[in-house]
Amino acid sequence: MRKDISRSIGKVDNREKSSGSAEYINDRSWEGEVHYALTLRSSIVKGKIINITFPSAREDVHIVDYRDVPGKNFVSILEDDWPVFAEDRVSYLGEPILLLCGPDRTVLEEYRSRIVVDYEEESPFLTLQDAVEKSDPIVSYTIDTGDYAGASEKAARTVKETFETGRQEQVYIEPQGVVAEYTEEGVVLTGSFQCPYYVKNAVINTLGWSGEKVRVIQAVTGGAFGGKEEFPSLISCQVAVASVKLKKTIKLIYNRHEDMEVTTKRHPSLISYEAALDGDNRILGVKMDVKLDGGATTGLSAVVLQRAMIASCGVYHFPAVLATGGVYLTNTVPSGAFRGFGAPQTFFAIEMFMNHLAAKVGEDPVAFKTKHLAKKGDATSTGGIYRDDILMAQMIEEVKKMSGYAEKYRLYSEKGNPRGIGMSLFLHGCGFTGSGEADHIKAKVYLERDEEGRVHILVSNVDMGQGFKTTMMKVVAHSLDIPLDQVVFNNPDTKYVPDSGPTVASRSTMIVGRLLVEACEKLQKETGPARVEANYSQPDYIKWDQDKMKGDAYPAFSWGVNVVEVEVDRDTWETTLLGAWSVHDVGKAIDDRIIRGQVDGGFLQGIGYGLWEKMELKEGRVQQATVTDYIIATASDFVTVENKLIDNPYALGPFGAKGAGELTLIGGAPAVAAAVEQALGAEVYRIPLVPEYLMELKKNG
């Protein structure tokens, strides 16, 4: 008899990770002569490059710049505005201008220090506020569902608030790194990647080569959090160009400082909400506006903005929604993918807004939120339908029991109490937005049985510490009813695996896992060695109009509730965590402990976003560019999370599973912010809630 799939097994990569034998990209050795690459970067924020003066040429230093790009000098993402190498102008501090390649890194460093670049500086936009005042958004959308103008007219009162969120840095285990090998068949790129096919397509575009000459292999990847979604395409294009020019193996590894200064961050945001309330304090509609700081390039910002706007209603159903949003470019380090992808910004804002509204109308925040919860059959923010059961009311009751929320909330409401407790409610749409899966990704998986009867998983999604290998191996082993050690899942190599899409958007388990289940069904009909494939097809009922942002934005939603308890020191304004509780609906956990890993890590990363992780720029330069100064929590800052999973199987997910990768981060910031508000007795409108801000907030009333 088959066991419950959720029962935890040891992760298949436990041994290599805990023994230290796992070889990350910088640990690998390479055949033949290796040339290292160092990047020459813009030392100004914005301007024209007038002239570059090099020290006298050396045989062991090679320069690779935009003139060496055989194809297009752009990283292929959404828009062609991210140069592989700057040509005649730079638009942010640290923008790559050229690579220096050679066998000795010390020589390269010394050579780089003597290069002089003359610029003609131009006046930059250094902040989002600056760009909003003086420029137009490079992309904007509107969601118009119901009739907000009508709701506002009927309203007994309207309330408006604005919120602000800052940058966040991923701080993955190993900094960015990629190696390009030049071979007779073409160029082979190995690196720390989330999306091997993004890298492949970007390199094809930049080299102007055909696909079969570009091969991409994922090295062991120790965490990515979105930071290895699009950025690796940039450096892969650079080393590919260098490798082709010099016909050498080129190795580019960032150190932590460089990584923190120049790689993509979470988008800073300005979010405003207006609610129209009727005489019974029910929300008739909301109007929201999101402005995102895209940094110096468009990158993935348009899609991030879509997520931020689609999340406008939080977990609630409002009869009318009018959401507008825009991405503004500033002369700062590019913003990019980060776990949550626009949703954490909006959820901070909507959850705080709901708390504040409850306070204004004199209701308990959880009771106020509960009466606005979306239910099965309700319309989503984009006029789609919540098709599946929503268990939020039950989940709220559960978390209340676990945390003693009601009693603590009452106790801490007494004036002058240094403690506070806060609850956040959140969801995350699983998979690509709208018809992205069907129109753009078109995921394909292979499953292959070899002569010894072992079954090979051939997909392009990666394990980056989250447990994807173990999860998929369990899915296949259970589907075929074979032992786990009969299943093989090697790191993706585009020479062998089809494009099953990127490892992003909480899609891998739900979408790719489901395709593997289908492939298993096909394989069971075959005997002996065989290869089967499965291709994604979108459920017929999913309809999405991208231009109007109308319809079903996601096929399924995962849900969560967080409670955080804190104490704020009135002398130092430091916030100490006292407790953290969560309940999640991820459909069905393929492995309880792996989901537990997502919960612990995501919750802490979300709390960090709300509480500690401050990254500010001064004259375009990242001020907290070391792990010393950028405050991610240590184990001694966190508490043990008490978590509960509620089964709510999704018909189209493998064994009922939905996405879980991003969900667990989203509620951390609003929960801790609500707790801090209670402890402080003051309303907060921006994160992170560093002690300096709390002191200022309390001082200025």
Partner 1 sequence: MVNAYPRTLKDALTLRAEGRRPMGGGTDLMVRFRSAAGVLPRFQQSLVFLRGVDELKNLEERGDLIAIGAGVTLRELCESPLIPVVFKNIMGQMASFAIRSEATLAGNIGNASPAADSLPFLICRNASLVLTGQRGDRTVSVADFITGPGKTLLADDELIREILLPREEFTLSFHKKVGGRRSDAISKLSFLGEARREGNNLFDLRIAFGSVAPRIIRSEEGEALAREVFSRGGNTKDIEGFYEKLITPIDDQRSTAEYRKTVSLNLLRRFMEKLREQ
The residues that touch partner 1, with contacts defined as CB under 8 A, are: 26, 36, 38, 105-106, 108-109, 175, 177, 253-255, 257-258, 570-574, 612, 616, 623-624, 628-629, 631-634, 636-637, 690-692, 695
For the bound state, the minimum distance from the C-beta of residue 345 to partner 1, rounded and expressed in Å, comes to 22
Task: Tell me the residue type at 201.
Answer: N
For the bound state, the minimum distance from the C-beta of residue 628 to partner 1, rounded and expressed in Å, comes to 6
385 vs 374: CA distance, rounded Å: 10
For the bound state, the minimum distance from the C-beta of residue 278 to partner 1, rounded and expressed in Å, comes to 44
CB contact set of 501 (below 8 Å; sequence gap of 6+):
197, 432, 437, 441, 443, 460, 461, 507, 508, 511, 512
For the bound state, the minimum distance from the C-beta of residue 699 to partner 1, rounded and expressed in Å, comes to 8
- Our CB check for partner 1 shows the closer of 255 and 524 to be 255
Beta-sheet pairing, 550-551 with 575-585: unpaired
Count CB neighbours of 390 within 10 A. Answer: 21
- Tokens matching residue 74: 């752009």
CA dihedral of 199, 213, 80, 130, whole degrees rounded to 10 = 30
For the bound state, the minimum distance from the C-beta of residue 244 to partner 1, rounded and expressed in Å, comes to 23
- Our CB check for partner 1 shows the closer of 92 and 612 to be 612
- Our CB check for partner 1 shows the closer of 164 and 364 to be 164
Cα angle, residue 610 at apex, residues 365 and 683 outer, rounded to 5° = 45
- Our CB check for partner 1 shows the closer of 202 and 617 to be 617
Task: Tell me the residue type at 482.
Answer: I
- Our CB check for partner 1 shows the closer of 156 and 627 to be 627
563 vs 584: CA distance, rounded Å: 12
> For 352, which DSSP code?
H
Torsion over CA: 584, 588, 593, 594 (sign): negative
- Our CB check for partner 1 shows the closer of 132 and 631 to be 631
CB contact set of 82 (below 8 Å; sequence gap of 6+):
74, 75, 234, 297, 298, 299, 334
- Our CB check for partner 1 shows the closer of 397 and 637 to be 637
- Our CB check for partner 1 shows the closer of 162 and 624 to be 624
Tokens 């802490």 found at:
604
Q: Are 295 and 367 in contact (CB under 8 A)?
A: no
For the bound state, the minimum distance from the C-beta of residue 569 to partner 1, rounded and expressed in Å, comes to 9
Phi and psi angles of residue 676, each rounded to the nearest 5 degrees, phi first: -65, -40
For the bound state, the minimum distance from the C-beta of residue 43 to partner 1, rounded and expressed in Å, comes to 16
Helix intervals (H) in 20-123: 105-113
> For 76, which DSSP code?
-
- Our CB check for partner 1 shows the closer of 530 and 578 to be 578
For the bound state, the minimum distance from the C-beta of residue 61 to partner 1, rounded and expressed in Å, comes to 14
- Our CB check for partner 1 shows the closer of 475 and 694 to be 694
Strands across the sheet containing 89-90: 89-90, 47-53, 116-121
169 vs 55: CA distance, rounded Å: 35
How distant, in Å, are the alpha carbons of 84, 109, 629, 682 from that of 234?
6, 21, 26, 44
676 vs 575: CA distance, rounded Å: 8
- Our CB check for partner 1 shows the closer of 26 and 127 to be 26
For the bound state, the minimum distance from the C-beta of residue 626 to partner 1, rounded and expressed in Å, comes to 9
For the bound state, the minimum distance from the C-beta of residue 94 to partner 1, rounded and expressed in Å, comes to 14
Helix intervals (H) in 51-95: none
- What is the full DSSP assignment across 523-536? HHT--SSEEEEEE-
- Our CB check for partner 1 shows the closer of 270 and 617 to be 617
For the bound state, the minimum distance from the C-beta of residue 695 to partner 1, rounded and expressed in Å, comes to 6
Count CB neighbours of 568 within 10 A. Answer: 24
For the bound state, the minimum distance from the C-beta of residue 254 to partner 1, rounded and expressed in Å, comes to 6
- Tokens matching residue 319: 């009869």
